């Protein structure tokens, strides 16, 4: 399998026939072996019936039907889990992404990039409620994550299979796929793609998601920078606060003992105690975080790194693609010492 097209579908009955026609029209001339993976995200209209009919007509079409509406992130995730193509392409089902962008994305993949994002330069959505908030959010996220992508909301994207298999998406994090991919070490490119107004059906999102993006950004930023060392962020502020509280308390003690002043009524006393306690709590949260991190990685046998390839390893190196997925598959004894999160020799 060379290509997997992943399509999240939620109540898109009017769009499905045209989507299939347009996709095959673009994909067939490429001469690649492909599959179209539709994740039916609990549609309540005829979407599933139509998709099922397509699978009977064309064996390249597959449907993953959810029990209920789990959201677009889950739909992408399911597509990634079942994808078998060397390159995985995501595209919306509502025909807003023009499939003619697919060959452009693939050309960039051929140049060697791991993830190629579409950029709806001429986006056909309302300005005030959609385009403006999206521009601001993208700018903000780029500043925070250091990943210079213009359009995270564009579903039309191509990814190498290894990258999507590595990716774990939660909540509504599909909008951060470029940032998560870059964090995994993927090389990134961007190409302008055509965008069309929605003709049938309705958009599933409103302005509310802009605010959720800001919260998600905090999560992503934290995980990117501190996921394996939470004590560094909590501990830093914890030490700072308790240090401040201590100095304040020391000063008050000197005033009391050496200058004979009464300090019982001083707001600084309350502040000093507050700072010291808050500081200690922050340090404790950091320590709890460190324990959680260890059970997260060790309990699930996860790796704290992602391997691109291994050159000149022992003769029993697996010969299939060498990604972090294969690295985790090594027996314990073969693992480099860095997987041991305790900084102690492996037992």
Show contacts with ligand UDP in window 136-175 (CB under 6 A): 153
Q: Which residues contact 182 (CB under 8 A, 6 or more apart)?
A: 115, 145, 146, 147, 188
**Count of residues of this chain found to bind ligand UDP when the rule CB under 6 A is applied:** 17
Between 108 and 204, CB nearer to ligand UDP: 204
In the list 77, 90, 96, 145, the residue contacting ligand UDP (rule: CB under 6 A) is 96
Is residue 72 at the binding interface for Mg ion, with CB under 5 A as the rule? no
For residue 162, the partner it binds in Mg ion, ligand UDP, none, with Cβ less than 5 to 8 A by kind, is none
In the list 75, 177, 186, 282, the residue contacting ligand UDP (rule: CB under 6 A) is 75
Assigned token pair, 278: 């808050």
Is residue 8 at the binding interface for ligand UDP, with CB under 6 A as the rule? yes
In the list 12, 13, 40, 94, the residue contacting Mg ion (rule: CB under 5 A) is 94
Give the whole-angstrom CA distance, residue 203 versus residue 162.
Answer: 31
For residue 41, the partner it binds in Mg ion, ligand UDP, none, with Cβ less than 5 to 8 A by kind, is ligand UDP
| Nearest-approach distance from CB 126 to ligand UDP, in angstroms | 10
Q: At what angle do helices 230-257 and 208-226 cross, to 10 degrees?
A: 80
201 near 14, Cβ under 8 Å?
yes
Is residue 166 at the binding interface for Mg ion, with CB under 5 A as the rule? no
Show contacts with ligand UDP in window 266-325 (CB under 6 A): none
Between 12 and 151, CB nearer to ligand UDP: 12
Give the whole-angstrom CA distance, residue 66 versus residue 79.
Answer: 11
Binding range to Mg ion, per CB under 5 A, among 25-33, 89-97, 227-235, 256-264: 89-97
In the list 3, 5, 6, 9, the residue contacting ligand UDP (rule: CB under 6 A) is 9
In the list 12, 114, 162, 216, the residue contacting ligand UDP (rule: CB under 6 A) is 12
Give the whole-angstrom CA distance, residue 276 versus residue 282.
Answer: 10
| Nearest-approach distance from CB 125 to ligand UDP, in angstroms | 7
Is residue 101 at the binding interface for ligand UDP, with CB under 6 A as the rule? no
For residue 166, the partner it binds in ligand UDP, Mg ion, none, with Cβ less than 5 to 8 A by kind, is none
For residue 220, the partner it binds in Mg ion, ligand UDP, none, with Cβ less than 5 to 8 A by kind, is none
In the list 13, 41, 151, 216, the residue contacting ligand UDP (rule: CB under 6 A) is 41
Between 90 and 96, CB nearer to Mg ion: 96
Between 173 and 241, CB nearer to ligand UDP: 173
Between 94 and 114, CB nearer to Mg ion: 94
In 136-153, which positions are buried (b, 16+ CB within 10 angstroms) versus exposed (e)?
ebbeebbeebebebbbbb
For residue 12, the partner it binds in ligand UDP, Mg ion, none, with Cβ less than 5 to 8 A by kind, is ligand UDP
Is residue 96 at the binding interface for Mg ion, with CB under 5 A as the rule? yes
For residue 69, the partner it binds in ligand UDP, Mg ion, none, with Cβ less than 5 to 8 A by kind, is ligand UDP
Contacts with ligand UDP by CB under 6 A lie at: 8-10, 12, 41, 69, 71-72, 75, 92-94, 96, 153, 203-205
């Amino acid at each position: 399998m060379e290509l997997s097209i992943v399509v999240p579908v939620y109540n898109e009955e009017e769009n499905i026939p045209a989507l299939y026609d347009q996709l095959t029209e673009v994909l067939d001339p490429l001469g690649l072996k492909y599959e179209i993976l539709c994740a039916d995200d609990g549609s309540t209209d005829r979407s599933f019936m139509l998709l099922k009919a397509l699978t009977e007509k064309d064996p390249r079409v597959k449907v993953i039907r959810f029990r209920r509406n789990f959201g677009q992130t889950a739909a992408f995730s399911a597509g990634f889990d079942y994808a078998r193509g060397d390159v995985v392409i995501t595209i919306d089902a509502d025909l807003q992404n023009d499939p003619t962008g697919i060959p452009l994305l693939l050309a960039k993949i051929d140049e060697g990039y791991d993830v190629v994002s579409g950029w709806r330069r001429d986006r056909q959505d309302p300005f005030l409620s959609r385009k403006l908030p999206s521009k601001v959010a993208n700018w903000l996220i780029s500043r925070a994550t250091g990943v210079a992508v213009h359009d995270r909301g564009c579903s039309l994207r191509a990814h190498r299979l290894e990258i999507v298999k590595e990716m774990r998406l939660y909540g509504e994090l599909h909008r951060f796929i470029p940032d998560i991919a870059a964090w995994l070490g993927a090389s990134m490119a961007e190409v302008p793609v055509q965008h069309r107004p929605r003709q049938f059906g309705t958009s599933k999102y409103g302005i509310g998601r802009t605010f959720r993006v800001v919260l998600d950004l905090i999560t992503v930023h934290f995980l990117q920078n501190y996921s394996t060392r939470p004590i560094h962020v909590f501990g830093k502020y914890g030490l700072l606060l308790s240090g401040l509280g201590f100095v304040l308390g020391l000063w008050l003690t000197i005033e009391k003992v050496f200058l004979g002043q009464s300090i019982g009524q001083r707001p600084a006393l309350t502040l000093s105690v507050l700072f010291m306690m808050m500081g200690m709590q922050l340090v404790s949260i950091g320590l709890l975080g460190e324990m959680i991190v260890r059970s997260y990685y060790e309990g699930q046998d996860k790796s704290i790194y992602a391997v691109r390839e291994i050159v000149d390893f022992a003769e029993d190196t697996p010969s299939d693609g060498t990604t972090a997925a294969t690295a985790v598959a090594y027996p314990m004894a073969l693992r480099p010492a860095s997987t041991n999160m305790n900084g102690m020799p492996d037992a």
